[in-house]
Each structure stands twice: as structure tokens, then as C-alpha cells.
Amino acid sequence: MRSHGRNEKKVLLGFFLLLCGLFCAAAQGVAADCKALAEKVRKEQSLVAKRDLLAAAVKECGNDAEINYMYGYSLERLRKYDEALKYYASATALDRKYAKAFFSMGDVYMNLDQVANAVTAYEKGLNVEPGDKRAGKSLESARIKLKALRGESVSTEEAATVLIAEKSKERELTPMEATILRLLILFPGKSVELPEEGSDQLSLVAVRALNSPELKNAVFEVSGNTDDTGEKAANLALSRKRAEAVRDFLVENYRVDAKRLKVAAYGEAQPLVPNSTEQNRSMNNRVEFKRLK
């Protein structure tokens, strides 16, 4: 009887080990399939097709941090920001050291104007990868923007930091291009006359950038802006005159081709920072550059 009991235990133990082996093999197979799916997605060129592949992949590999991140990224590129956040959050929950997912969450929060959340996301990612320069710059910009949203004054340099961060979202900027896009020509009060400091900036920075080999054929929008005091129609006209003053200065004094400078007027519609303080309003009374081609 004892021998029979021992044999029965051996059979049960063997059966248990067999089940464990089958389970482990199946788990390895699933993991391998997820990697294969991720590789297949990377090779796909179409953004929509990539999204569809990932929609299927995330059902099979819901516990895979990379698949969740990739699906979130594809949704972000299609501007489905709320959905993208869901999958970035899943990626960070599955892997707390997935810095790239935290950084992407920060980018989406900035697009949604949820600046405080963006600051938190960038900080979490940088705790994992403190050497990431792009994320570091994004965090700096987000902190300045949050400062302005809270009604605190920001400096001209801080405003320029936000400006260049906004303009470099879609692509990397060359040093020379970043130089001219960072320019803020500030106009006091309701003035339309180019201030001396503004003419110095244009002479020292804009002319050199516009005549550089890498930008000699580039076309820029020269846009005028105001704060929110006064009538909208008057501010719109004021912003146009400011942009024209900057364009005319470059054309008349440095022979920059007028065809390369397209005047645009936005009035009070595009504040760089909230009009919550006098210093912030001074930042919004500006002319800036945007590359068109």
C-alpha cells in the first residue's frame, strides 16, 4: 500500500512538472510573438496601417510595455491624445523605468495644455534617464509655462525658451534656424515704431541668420502680436504694422528679399504667455519669425 502511494505521488509530481513545462513554453511563445509583432510594426511605413496592426497587437500583448508604448505613439501622431495617454500610462505601469513613455506623456499633456501634468511626467522620466537633453529642455519650457499660467512674471529669456520649444515640436531645428526663431522683437505699449533694442537684435542676429548658407533660400513668416488690452480690431491692425516695420527694416537696410518675408497679423489671438501681469503683456507685444519653407 505504501509503495502504491509513493508511485501515485510520483505520477502526480510528474504530471505537475509536465504542466509547468507546457505553461512556461507557452509563455515563452507568447513573449516571442509579441517581439515579432513589434518588429512587424516597425517595418510598416503607413501610419494608419501601423495603428491597425498595433490595435490588434495590444489585444494579444496587453502586458507588454513596448507594445503599449508603440500603440500610444501611433495614436499621438494621429492626434488622438486622450487615447494615447491611456496606453502610455499602461506602458509606465508595466515598466516603471520606461522613461520614453513618461516623456511622451509629457509631450501629450503639453499639447492638451495640461502643463502641471506635463511637468510631473517629464520629472518622472528624467528620474530614470537624467541625461536626456530633449526631455530636459521640455521640462524647462513646461516649468516656465506653468509659472506664467499661475500669474507669475516671466523674463524675456524664459519666454524665448517657451517659444523655441513650441516651434521645435515637429522637427529638430538647426542652430542657425533656432537662432532666428528664438527672436522676440518687443514693442512697448501700443507703439508701432521699431525700438532701438529691436533694430539691434535684427542687425546682429536676424541678418546673419537670413544670409547664412543654410537659410539663404528660406522663407519666413514675420508675425505681429499684441496683448489683450484694447479693441480686437485695433490690436489686429497694430500687429500688422509691427510686422511690417520689422520686414521693412530688413528689406531697406540689409537688402533682404521681401519675397522671403511674409507678413502676418494675429493681434491678441496668440499670446506667448497669459496676459496676467504687466511683464507678461510686454512679452505678448512682439514680432516673431516662423519658417514657412
Tell me: the pLDDT tens digits for 102-137?
A: 999 999 999 898 999 999 999 999 999 999 998 998
- How far apart CA 103 and CA 54 sit, in angstroms, is 20
- How far apart CA 167 and CA 34 sit, in angstroms, is 36
- How far apart CA 111 and CA 103 sit, in angstroms, is 13
Domain-by-domain residue ranges, the chain? 47-150, 175-291
- How far apart CA 201 and CA 180 sit, in angstroms, is 10
- How far apart CA 106 and CA 39 sit, in angstroms, is 26
pLDDT tens track of the chain, all 293 residues? 445 455 555 544 444 444 444 444 444 444 448 888 778 777 777 878 878 888 888 888 889 999 999 899 999 988 899 999 999 999 999 999 999 999 999 999 998 989 999 999 999 999 999 999 989 989 999 999 899 888 888 888 888 888 888 877 767 788 888 888 888 999 998 999 999 999 999 998 898 989 899 898 899 999 999 999 999 999 999 999 999 999 999 999 999 999 999 999 999 999 988 898 888 999 999 999 999 98
The C-alpha cell that represents 171 in the structure block: 522637427
Tell me: the pLDDT tens digits for 42-85?
A: 777 787 887 888 888 888 888 999 999 989 999 998 889 999 99
Q: Which of 259, 270, 293, 291 is nearest to 183 (CA)?
A: 291
For the domain made up of 175-291, the CATH class stated in words is: alpha beta
Report whether CATH 2.170.150.20 matches the domain 47-150.
no
Beta carbons of 192 and 241 less than 8 angstroms apart: yes
